[in-house]
Structure 1
Amino acid sequence: MKSLFRYLRSDVSSGVVVFFVALPLCLGIALASGAPLFAGIIAGIVGGIVVGSLSGSALGVSGPAAGLAVIVFKSIEKLGTWEVFLLAVLIAGIIQFIMGLAKLGVIAYFFPSSVIKGMLTGIGLIIILKQVPHALGYNKDYEGNVGFKQLNDENTISALPGAVSDLLNLISPGALIITLVSLTILLFWEIVLIKKHKIFKVLQGPLVAVTAGVFFNYLFSLGSGDLRLGSDQVVSLPVADGFVDFFNQFMLPDFSRIADWEVYVTGFTIAIVASLETLLCVEATDKLDPEKRITSTNQELKAQGIGNIVSGFIGGLPITQVIVRSTANISFGARTKLSTIVHGILLLVCALLIPRILNMIPLATLACILIVVGCKLAKPSLFKEMYKLGWSQFIPFMVTVIGVVFTDLLQGIAIGMVVAIFYILRNNFRNPFYMIEYNHEKGREYNIILSEEVSFLNKGSILQMLNHVPVNARVVIDGRNSRVIDHDVVEIINNFKTRADVKNIELEVIGIDNKKLT
């Protein structure tokens, strides 16, 4: 407990920033999911307080995920009512908890670093692309799905011309002014002030930007001109009339459909997708952690499972660990998981006590905060760094970036994994042995030392190498270092032995016996 409060100032400050980032995301994702708006707030509260307390991740932030928006939207439509869908969320949480007990979190370790970094960069580019219209006052489709294709048959790129076209006719000067002020504060804080004095590390730039945004919004609201912001250009949090009305917004699942097979299919689907997104986010967050701490993925699955059980039971959206909020958490100085708990507490307290004040925050200011986060994820130096590592790292990285931007998170990662696996197989194909060649009294001698494991994937390169051995050569095939040699490879060596006499090749085979056959 003492270690949790060790970095109290930086964690509380970062938690406040994450709260401001999470608030519109919770509402936007609920809207895109076809769910009650308050369901997004509930999921944010549970993700912050419940999952944040139980998780082993020091810097990961959990809440409603945009990547699940399409699944949620279609599932509510298929199951018929929101209350039945909540039952599916509860079941998904039970499945996730069982996955954690079964130690299935190991899946996360099979994703290459190049794919994880590509995912982060692609998400950074998406954040920037999606926030630019909102920074200019265009809030027709706030957030939506963090992917290329949207619910309205638009996509990330095709939506931009429409936004620009609308902005030419319906540009919001007020939002534009707030954006310029907010970006100036954020960049000046990041580049200049934070290096000048410690107080600017405690008092974070996003907090000042949000305060300035509220001030300008209030100032513009006093007039009736073009600077006045519309209702779709500010945070829109449900306002309850007292405690009773607030708690009436919580809903229970419809347990009358507990025997419905469709509910279990939906729950299983949510559990698998949410678990995969969580595990990928855990891997990415650990890479961004300045202290390079390693999160227990099995503990994370159990924490997410309990979170979804609670969220489903009280009327919230499905929860995953989410990269945008986790990245913002890291970027603005979080040191322990206290920051994510603080953001959950703030969501609860503010939704209960001061929703009207929160509803004065311009979306343009929040968009600026996210644009800065996106720029940190997709910084040009990372492209240069990956290029220097060689094609086997750079190409899977770039393919993942392009895939995430032009499809969606999971499809982009799948495409990147296919390319990464190709390079793994290619390297495995090319490195089943090494050969030492030198002169022999009767000609050339080739010492071929097989690697520790020689699979059927290697038989092509071994066959090609043996076919190029010249006449009158001496060949030594040494398998003493090999733990496993595939039967297909042994067969190729035996066939070469049969043909060796024809080319007057002297062959010696060492260390290949029946114990090493597979």
Structure 2
Amino acid sequence: MKKLSQHLGSDLPSGLVVFLVALPLCLGVALASNAPLFAGIIAGIVGGIIIGSLSGSSLSVSGPAAGLTAIVAVAIGKMPAYEAFILSVVIAGVLQIVFGFLKAGILGDYVPNSVIRGMLAAIGLILIFKQLPHLLGYKAGFAPAAAGIGLVSVGILLLWDLPFFKKKKIFQYIPAPLVVVVVGIAISEALEQGGSPHTLAAHHLVNLPVAGDLGDFSAFFRFPDWQYLGNPQVWITGLTIALVASLETLLCIEAIDKLDPYNRSTPTNRELKAQGIGNLISGMIGGLPITSVIVRSSANLNAGARTRLSTIVHGTLLLLSVLLIPGLLNAIPLSALAAILVMTGYKLAKPTLFREFHRKGWDQFVPFVVTISAILLTDLLIGILIGTGVALFFLVRSNFHSAVMFVPDENKYLLRFRKDVSFLNKPIVKQRLENLPEGSVVLIDMSRADFIDRDVLDVIDEFMHHAHLKNIRVQVRRNSVAEVKHKAA
């Protein structure tokens, strides 16, 4: 704790900035997940205080994640009760702790970048599609004032992204989501105080429980119902959340570590354990699933945080806000939160991203688009698996075409192996050798191959044994790797 307190001057203001960013996002993610709004606040508090205390990351901030909204919304719809869903969150937490002990922290390294970016783009599109009705004021009837607040909020967020605002230091310390919330509340209150017929109804505003004292406050938590342990959907959802939350956390940790000006490295297995304990606790008291979140972590980094104390401060401020100012939070228009989520979705799925992957070639563009389509048509986990499968197909295809080169020159022929020559290359090698004309000369160059499969070596040996029958002269150039592989096999 002494080490954490050394940078109070940096971490306290950073924690305040992250709190101001996280508060509307916690509410917005809960809204997008069709979950109680209070569940998003619980997840933010646990992510800040519990995971912040246990994590080995200096800059990562955890909380309810936009990347899980699709899974959570579908799962809540399928569950017999919300208490069954939070039981899945508890199971996910236990599984993440197990992942940590199994040293599964390298999981994120095996997912292709095209699939990762496709996953994020799909999440962005889901956020946009789900939040457009809230943004435009459609909830139990159209509300022009809600739509107006939503459009003004989008305008503010767009302004904050302009170079003029980005260059001004003052705007770096005033988070755009906070401005959106303040302006939304101001417009809503002005309409109400002015007696406007377009005053927002209660269902267009945040609705958090308000407690008279601490005893009343504790009554707002919800607890898992253990009778649903026999429900297969509970276990499927738990496993899905554990896998996706772990992957999203590992990817976020990797990104933040790369941006850390002090080049600190986060122990990934410890992070999985911390995330698991966080999800276990969050599920036990009715909160949403938690991951390390790139938006909040980036805000923490840009605000000048030095240690994880800033994360703990942000979680503490979230707790104090629901204890001390729930009435103010309940004045926030839902359309303002929807605007924040729509713009978050747009940044994840910008049209420039599609053009970027198209320029990279079909081996990058196709897995990217397939991942997006698969996630939109199924769910996040299945989409990631399908996208990874397509990426692997292109990898094998690329290696297949580049591993064997055949060059004819009159009656002389060159058969050159490059990279890794697998059993998949056996048919083409066999075909090339068997079709060589009588009296020809062939050089089989294995010196540039890192690995040659035993099946391919057998084809070469068989050809060399009967090449003299067609008066074919064979020269073989080996390197040490190929020679060793040949002898060892």
Q: Which runs of 5 or more structure 1 residues have no equivalent in the other structure?
A: 141-169
TM-score, normalised relative to structure 1: 0.79
Equivalent residue number for residue 61 of structure 1: 62
- 3-state DSSP class of the match of 2:259? coil
Once the two structures are overlaid, the 10-residue window that deviates more, 406-415 or 337-346, is 337-346
- Deviations along 1:27-64, one digit per CA (max 9) or x if unpaired, are 553x44xxx66444323321222123323453453337
Look up the match of 1:150.
Answer: none
3-state DSSP of counterpart to 2:162: helix
**Alignment partner, residue 244 of structure 2:** 276
Q: State whether structure 2 residue 63 is matched by structure 1 residue 93.
A: no
**Within the alignment, does 1:473 sit opposite 2:440 as a pair?**
yes
Q: 1:24: which partner in 2?
A: 28
1:58-457 matches, cutoff 5 A: 58-63=59-64, 65-69=68-72, 72-73=75-76, 77=80, 82=83, 89-139=89-139, 170-191=141-162, 193-195=164-166, 197-250=168-221, 262=230, 266=234, 270-271=238-239, 273-283=241-251, 286-287=254-255, 291=259, 295-313=266-284, 315-317=285-287, 319-321=289-291, 326-327=294-295, 329-330=297-298, 333=302, 336=305, 340-434=311-405, 443-446=411-414, 448-451=415-418, 453-457=420-424
Deviation at 1:284, TM superposition (A): 5.1
Aligned-residue offset at 1:219? 1.2
Q: Percent identity?
A: 39
Equivalent of residue 455 in structure 2, options 463, 482, 488: 488
Q: By how many angstroms is 1:285 displaced?
A: 6.2
Amino acid at match of 1:18: A
1:510, distance to aligned residue in structure 2 (A): 4.7
How many Å apart are 1:452 and its aligned residue? 5.3
Cα drift, residue 363 of structure 1: 1.1
SS at match of 1:108: helix
Alpha-carbon distance in structure 2 between the residues aligned to 1:27 and 1:347: 17
Q: Which range moves more in the overlay, 341-350 or 417-426? A: 341-350
Please give the secondary structure, in 2, of the residue aligned with 1:221.
Answer: helix
Matched, 1:43 2:47: no
AA partner of residue 134 (structure 2): H
Q: SS where residue 227 of structure 1 aligns? A: coil
The number of equivalent residue pairs is: 472
- Listed as ranges, the gaps of 5+ residues in structure 2 are none
CA drift of 1:361 comes to: 0.5
Q: Cα distance, 1:288 vs. partner?
A: 7.3
Deviations 1:160-204 (A, max 9, x none): xxxxxxxxxx43111122123222322223215424531121122
For the residues of structure 2 that align with 1:459 and 1:226, how far apart are their CA atoms? 77
Distance (Å, rounded) in 2 between the aligned partners of 1:89 and 1:123: 20
Q: Matched residues in 2 for 1:452 and 1:238: separation?
A: 62
Following TM superposition, by how much is the alpha carbon of 1:392 offset from its aligned partner in structure 2, in angstroms? Answer: 0.9
Distance 1:248 1:95 in 2: 28
Seen in structure 2, the aligned counterparts of structure 1 residues 242 and 120 have a Cα distance that, compared at 3 Å, is same
In terms of mean alpha carbon deviation, does 354-363 or 267-276 score higher?
267-276
Call closer, same or farther: CA 1:285–1:232 in 2, change over 3 Å: farther
**Cα RMSD after superposing both structures:** 3.4
**Structure 2 contact 15–312 (Cα < 8 Å) conserved:** no
Contact 1:19 1:344 in 2 (8 A): no
Q: Distance in 2 between matches of 1:404 and 1:45?
A: 29
Distance 1:203 1:75 in 2: 40
| Counterparts of 2:133 and 2:236, CA distance in 1 | 36
